[in-house]
Homo-oligomer: A and B are copies of this chain.
Amino acid sequence: MMTTLAVDCMGGDHGVSVTLPAIAAFLRKDRESVVIAVGLADAFEPAMPSLLKEFGDRLRVQFASEVVGMSESVATALRLKKDSSMRVAIDLVKSGTSVAAVSAGNTGALMAISRFVLKTIEGVDRPAICTVLPTQAGRTYVLDLGANIDCSSEHLMQFGVMGAMLASALEHKERPTVGLLNVGEEEVKGNDVVKRAAELLRQSGLNFYGNVEGNDIYKGTTDVVVCDGFVGNITLKASEGLAQFIGGTLKEAFSRNPLTKLAALIALPVLRDFKEKFDHRRYNGACLLGLRGVVVKSHGSADIFAFSCALERAAEAARQSLPEQIALRMAQLPVMSALCD
């Protein structure tokens, strides 16, 4: 069976100049997928005809009459732009025409529209944003990254369930380990919300490792790391900043003078391998979890390769029936209402 993705082609910093070539690259690689490209009719000219010719019925076009701006308010996007490319893409998931939506647009708007149109899975109070990071041990899924600033213990426990199902779907691990981000490994550490979340996670039936610390993220101590959106957002952005700082310093060190440039030339294969390992583009595509449908958010600044990675992630999550897996798992939780009293 083919996997059909609805792609908002207008979102992100570069719009169709990135999304269309990325869709083409994705369709060339993944022969089991169909893409519905959603966008303004004008924007699809002049590239679309040749793409339609190349991919035949694996590429379809759905027009929209509006675009959600990158800094547009969530309220405007949700209430006043009912024919935006973002909204139309999500509507296609709602109607069952496609199984996943991908957008590089405004995160707040994407979350709000997804939640409004698709609704949350039974038992999920709040959807969360989850990304995958490279670690010493492989890959780790971290959530929430900013959708939920204030979280209760129950929310954190639900993030654990959703993150575990995502890691399971994309890494094909049967019982991924889940860690709770805290200031120490001991059970007495942290605030009341985190301590209670640890209790709930222990009773959840998940493969709960216990508390993990900041450095455990990049050690890859667990497959999933759970935190509230305030901590997750700041930690991830600090990491991005540090990686840029280190990378920039290394580049600068190698371009200082003719001698260091020569050294760089000789070290080129090593530096290239190194760069590839930390290439954030490969990790592009954060999942909006807890919704009745797969929604993947690409970085706004994604280039063609990065956006195609987000498309691959969405297709895989859809093939693994991620929302259904989360729903199933939520239903199997011990009677949470009793626990939460």
Contact = CB atoms under 8 A, between A and B. Distances in A.
A241 B244 CA distance: 15
Interface string A255-271: 01001101110110111
A75 interface: no
How many copies of this protein are present in the complex?
2
Q: By CB atoms of chain B within 10 A, which of A182, A230, A238, A269 has the most?
A: A238
Nearest to A248: B136
B256 A260 contact: no
A235 B238 contact: yes
A246 interface: yes
A218 B244 CA distance: 9
Q: Mostly helix, strand, loop or mixed at chain A's interface?
A: helix
Contact of A234 (B183, B218, B263): B183
A150 B246 CA distance: 32
Contacts of A182: 234
Interface in A69-120: none
Given A249-B277, A254-B270, A270-B260, A146 B240 contact: no
**What 6 A-B pairs have minimum CB-CB distances, sorted nearest first?**
A214-B237, A215-B241, A214-B238, A218-B241, A263-B267, A214-B234
Given A259-B269, A260-B270, A263-B263, 18 more contacts: A135-B245, A146-B183, A150-B191, A182-B234, A214-B234, A214-B235, A214-B237, A215-B237, A215-B238, A215-B241, A217-B238, A217-B241, A217-B242, A230-B231, A239-B242, A242-B243, A249-B277, A250-B250
